[in-house]
Structure 1
């Protein structure tokens, strides 16, 4: 998987689960399973539900990323 690529070793992973306003949008568990996020052991990751059209969830995800980077990714 992409998570095993040497170039991404230690990278922080921010997932925007977009289109949450539409029927059939995946929940956190389904996104985690689909992207095999449960296999990530050596890095920080988080999922943020978003609706880009409405601007929902975007700033929260970027805030999380900024704070995670400031804290050294731990």
Structure 2
């Protein structure tokens, strides 16, 4: 899914992928492995990506994800989760 988009779109060369797994405060929320599989993130090669568990209502995970994105987009290495 995202891998195909990154592969086809020249404008996205060098872009990092930040995925917020929202609604983590609800029962049945997907874990990292399920999100990775659903979005086929494992197919993304030669670029950084990360999943951050989030709860927008509680304000959890949002700043951490944005910090990672900022660091990764502007010269940092990130952790490539």
TM-score by length of 2: 0.81
| Alpha-carbon spacing, 1:10–1:61, altered in 2? closer, same or farther (3 Å) | same
Equivalent residue, structure 2, for 1:66: 70
Equivalent residue, structure 1, for 2:17: 13
> CA separation in 1, counterparts of 2:39 and 2:7?
13
Structure 1 segments, 4+ long, off by >3 Å, are: none
Per-residue deviation, residues 2-54 of structure 1 (Å, max 9, x unmatched): 23222323211000000000011000000000000000002110000000000
Cα shift at 1:69: 1.7
> CA separation in 1, counterparts of 2:8 and 2:25?
33
**Count of aligned pairs between the two proteins:** 74
Aligned CA RMSD, in angstroms, stands at 1.6
- For 1:44, which of 32, 35, 48 is the aligned residue? 48
CA contact (8 A) 1:12 1:73 kept: no
> CA separation in 2, counterparts of 1:48 and 1:4?
23
